[in-house]
Amino acid sequence: MRILRRLFRLFRLYPGTLLLSAVLLLFRAGVELLPPLVQKQLIDTVIERRDLSRLGVLIGALLGVYALQEVAAPLTSISGTRSAIGDRPSLEHNSQCGQDHRS
């Protein structure tokens, strides 16, 4: 229980970073779900129905989704490291200075 209280105290120090990380995590999860949807459309429309008129559009959409994934991946890792760059001292710094915050 003490560990959870300590963890929640840490969350209070960085509410913006925590919210940004949660939003970016949900965004990235949504982006990761897009390729199978586009691939399903590609298989159902182009291969099964032999409708080549949508082939270019679906391949372009798939390439766009892959590009979006490449943009989304670094964003989630940047948001995770923002708290380490912040202006508040870390727990390691406090324990080195003799100010251990254990309950």
The model's confidence at residue 87, banded by pLDDT at 50, 70 and 90, is very low
Q: For the chain, what is the domain count?
A: 1
The model's confidence at residue 97, banded by pLDDT at 50, 70 and 90, is low
Single pTM value for the model = 0.58
Q: Which residues contact 88 (CB under 8 A, 6 or more apart)?
A: 13, 14
What are the helix and strand counts (H, E) for the chain? Answer: 4, 0
Q: Is residue 43 part of a domain?
A: yes
Q: Which domain holds residue 19?
A: 15-81
Q: Is residue 9 part of a domain?
A: no
Rounded Cα distance between 69 and 100, Å, is 41
Identify the pLDDT of residue 79.
54
Listed residue (12, 10, 22) closest to 76, CA to CA: 22
Rounded Cα distance between 69 and 27, Å, is 10
Enter the tokens of residue 34.
Answer: 């897009």
Q: Is residue 99 part of a domain?
A: no
Q: Is residue 28 part of a domain?
A: yes
Q: Is residue 7 part of a domain?
A: no
